Structure 1
Amino acid sequence: MSTTDLPYLIAFSTIPSIGAATIVRLRSFFKTFEEAWNAPAREYQRAGVPEKSAMLLADATKHLVPSEELEKVRQAGINPIAIDDPAYPHLLREIPDSPQLLYCRGNLPGIRPTVAIVGTRKATDYGREVARRMSHELAIRGISIISGLALGIDATAHESAVDALGHTTAVLGSGLDHVYPVANAQLARRIVETGGCLISEFALGVQAQKFHFPVRNRIIAGLSLGIVVVEGNKDSGSLITARLGLDYNREVMAVPGDILRTASTGTNDLLKAGARPITCVDDILDALYLEHFKERHTGVDKPATFDNNQQHTQLTDNEKALLSVLEREPKHIDEIVKMSKLQVSIVNSTLSMMEMRGLVKQLGGMKYIRII
């Protein structure tokens, strides 16, 4: 997408009657969002937009100035990222219903492996302690914690990652200027201040609504290599995230809970349905092919220095496969996955470890070059 088209996409996202499905229809039918913006209602109907929505859409475009909407976003310190932007998270782009636009404040996970830790808002002491320990142990190993900034398990997972000086990403069900719940506004600020990220597909000014959270949950699942459900009853929203994870071919994991507590009925049902049981961090790392991350990473260690021959003798099969497709010219991770024929989760985790060892380098925009 050209930079001249971005303001129109942002402006479309601010129209209350326009959902993600409508934006996808417009993108498929029109050559550009600028062309869509200037189209009459009958053209929206030809694109598959229902008549009433088409009329509302045509009326709204007369009262909004796209360049002003873009400026509002930038003035708020928010980075808008369209789906075809190289900075758009590659795992999220894989899912069939990817958001066409993300609003981001802070630093995206980048090459870090990502694990979602989710669960009930009404967490028990047991659930909070499990979330705290697992988030801490993953964060100190360089893994980004993904969650939804809700009370209970989500907030505990974010707080633990921040306290560990690790990276965490909070996905909101509201605009980034309306953090919900308000009780977690300070936590949201800490996440950004310590190098993490807030993400939403909802435009500025959008308040949290109940129906937003299942929509938000698909982003949590899409951003993650795997999903750990710590605690939740049969009606917990975290089970929606787990089901979406299955649809997206993500690893779904659950923590066994007390069979006498309602708070564990959902997670125990997940286990009976085939979710991977998790009792320690190593279980997560093994499930996601992240064995290299079992050692703690402080983020300040220098890559080991060997001569090239010694490095080649210490390479794993996956590392050799990736080096064979990498060159001195930058190559996007999507191309690396296609050429190596490895799973995305394996490519992501292996590249992370290779960068720490000084074998490859990320140049931004999810592009890599080999160093050795």
Structure 2
Amino acid sequence: MIEGGALVKNGHIQQQLNQQVPDASDWLALSLLPRLGAGRLKQWHHERRAWPQQWLEALSVPQRHYFLYLRHPQGHGQVLQPMLDWCTAESSRALLHPDHPAWPALLNELPDPPLVLWAWGNLACLEQPAIAIVGSRHPSSAGRHHAQAFARALAEAGSCIVSGMALGIDAQAHEGALSAEGATIAVVGSGLDHTYPRQHRSLQQRILNAGGLLLSEHPPATEARPAFFPRRNRIITGLSRGVLVVEAALRSGSLISARLALEQNRDVFALPGALEASLSAGCHALIRQGATLVTTPTDIIEELGGPWRASSIQGAENRPACREGGERQRAGHDPQAQRWLVLLRDGAVSLDELVLRSGCSVSDTLNALLALELAGQVVMCGNGWTLSAPSSESGAQTR
């Protein structure tokens, strides 16, 4: 291992470190140092301490020695280069760091931002205003519907949907963004070359193919570990202007995300649910603690304002109903809309029953219900979907 004192003495390393700011290899090496707090490095960076002298002097002796080893040709070749090779293997991969032009500025507001982020996909996603959508890994059918419906509407309004590509609500959030052909970012708790969970390999590929982005603070070849996911949540909320919790039990990772969001001065939104439902207990607790209760995507857009404008989802009130002949038709002008109203005129009907009666796919059924829900014609209840009061009147006239 290369020995080093307060200043870099190895000529080869000194030449590499003569730049005024750390480069990608420097940030990567710093991120691998044990027991080095991101908060300290953030402070040094913003204080514009002289690189490398003042930075290295502030490290402990073991940290300084290991950093110098990593920046020596031997350590660089054995440790750093295999990781960097993963980035250079494809043009869509990158190693982001605080001096990278694509580094998300919002992450600088975190008390403990990641030192680096491994990226795979479309970095332009980081330029869009983002909303995080989180919730249970074992949601109800209503939760799956709402996660996808809200993500779709918010994506169509110009928001990037951020989530963790986990089972349940996370996956539905990404699906909603993809169905709207919108931007989505998946922040994962493993190296980007390890898909977790494995059954989401197809979802991961579709996110990449659709111009989405995968992010991780863990280098390639890192397998998922339970301890990584709570830390991953701070990045999901840190990238976002607001966080929507769809369903969550009283003790869940989603409530950790909500707490992080509040600490990061982000807006927190929560969907209410049935009083007896355990998956609604966490959302109700958040609402009691000051989270904004929302029932439609417009509630979020109006609350945030700025880039999100209610007018940008006016067209979302006419979502596609069941597609026939390969053509999408809008619910407000489509005779298929009346078909759904007829199916619901006798009371609440579950999603499974609607799929069976309509002969449509689950995805198309959800799209149709979303269109009618946003148009104020149907509402969701404990047993499924039913006509809202205005739609009931119109439905009565058609019977």
Matching residue of 1:6: 24
Task: Report the secondary structure of 1:286's partner residue.
Answer: helix
Shift of 1:24: 5.1
Matching residue of 1:80: 95
Task: Report the secondary structure of 1:99's partner residue.
Answer: coil
Q: Confirm or deny that 1:235 pairs with 2:251.
A: yes
Shift of 1:287: 1.2
Q: Confirm or deny that 1:218 pairs with 2:216.
A: no
Q: Which runs of structure 2 are paired with 1:1-372 in the superposition (5 Å)?
A: 5-14=23-32, 20=38, 31-32=50-51, 47=58, 49=60, 63-65=75-77, 66=80, 69-76=83-90, 77-108=92-123, 109-290=125-306, 292-296=309-313
Aligned-residue Cα RMSD (Å) equals 3.0
Of the structure 1 ranges 148-157 and 87-96, higher mean CA displacement relative to structure 2 is found in 87-96
Of the structure 1 ranges 193-202 and 19-28, higher mean CA displacement relative to structure 2 is found in 19-28
Q: Distance in 1 between matches of 2:207 and 2:69?
A: 39
Shift of 1:122: 1.1
Shift of 1:4: 7.2
Shift of the 85–127 alpha-carbon distance from structure 1 to 2, 3 Å rule, reads same
Shift of 1:147: 0.5
Task: Report the secondary structure of 1:178's partner residue.
Answer: coil
The answer to whether the 8 Å contact 2:192/2:214 transfers is yes
**Which amino acid counterpart does residue 88 of structure 1 have in structure 2?**
W
The answer to whether the 8 Å contact 2:131/2:244 transfers is yes
Q: Distance in 2 between matches of 1:30 and 1:205?
A: 33
TM-score for both structures, normalised by structure 1? 0.69
Shift of 1:246: 0.7
Matching residue of 1:302: none
Q: What residue ranges of structure 2 are gaps of 5+ in the alignment?
A: 1-18, 316-399
The answer to whether the 8 Å contact 1:253/1:278 transfers is yes
1:115-156 CA deviation, whole Å, 9 max, x = no partner?
A: 111001111111111101101111122211011111000000
Q: Distance in 2 between matches of 1:111 and 1:52?
A: 38
Q: What residue ranges of structure 1 are gaps of 5+ in the alignment?
A: 37-42, 299-372
| Identical residues among aligned pairs (%) | 37
**Which amino acid counterpart does residue 88 of structure 2 have in structure 1?**
R
Task: Report the secondary structure of 1:98's partner residue.
Answer: coil
1:224-251 CA deviation, whole Å, 9 max, x = no partner?
A: 1100000010111011111111111111
**Which amino acid counterpart does residue 312 of structure 2 have in structure 1?**
E
1:269-303 CA deviation, whole Å, 9 max, x = no partner?
A: 001111000100111001111552432499xxxxx
Task: Report the secondary structure of 2:309's partner residue.
Answer: helix
Shift of 1:95: 2.3
Matching residue of 1:340: none
The answer to whether the 8 Å contact 1:229/1:253 transfers is yes
Of the structure 1 ranges 59-68 and 77-86, higher mean CA displacement relative to structure 2 is found in 59-68
The answer to whether the 8 Å contact 1:252/1:275 transfers is yes
The answer to whether the 8 Å contact 1:13/1:19 transfers is no
The answer to whether the 8 Å contact 1:14/1:204 transfers is no
Task: Report the secondary structure of 1:63's partner residue.
Answer: helix
Shift of the 2–9 alpha-carbon distance from structure 1 to 2, 3 Å rule, reads same
Q: Distance in 2 between matches of 1:2 and 1:59?
A: 20
**Which amino acid counterpart does residue 261 of structure 2 have in structure 1?**
G
Shift of the 25–278 alpha-carbon distance from structure 1 to 2, 3 Å rule, reads closer
Shift of the 57–293 alpha-carbon distance from structure 1 to 2, 3 Å rule, reads same
Matching residue of 2:343: none
Shift of 1:98: 2.0
**Which amino acid counterpart does residue 305 of structure 2 have in structure 1?**
Y
Shift of the 140–10 alpha-carbon distance from structure 1 to 2, 3 Å rule, reads same
**Which amino acid counterpart does residue 178 of structure 1 have in structure 2?**
H
Shift of the 276–243 alpha-carbon distance from structure 1 to 2, 3 Å rule, reads same
Task: Report the secondary structure of 1:64's partner residue.
Answer: helix
Q: Distance in 2 between matches of 1:118 and 1:84?
A: 29
**Which amino acid counterpart does residue 26 of structure 2 have in structure 1?**
Y
Q: Distance in 2 between matches of 1:102 and 1:165?
A: 25
Shift of 1:113: 1.7
The answer to whether the 8 Å contact 1:112/1:144 transfers is yes
Q: Distance in 2 between matches of 1:142 and 1:297?
A: 13
**Which amino acid counterpart does residue 5 of structure 1 have in structure 2?**
D
Q: Distance in 2 between matches of 1:57 and 1:4?
A: 12
Shift of the 121–16 alpha-carbon distance from structure 1 to 2, 3 Å rule, reads farther
Q: Quick one: higher RCO (CA 8 Å, sep 6+), 1 or 2? A: 1
Q: Distance in 1 between matches of 2:43 and 2:184?
A: 33
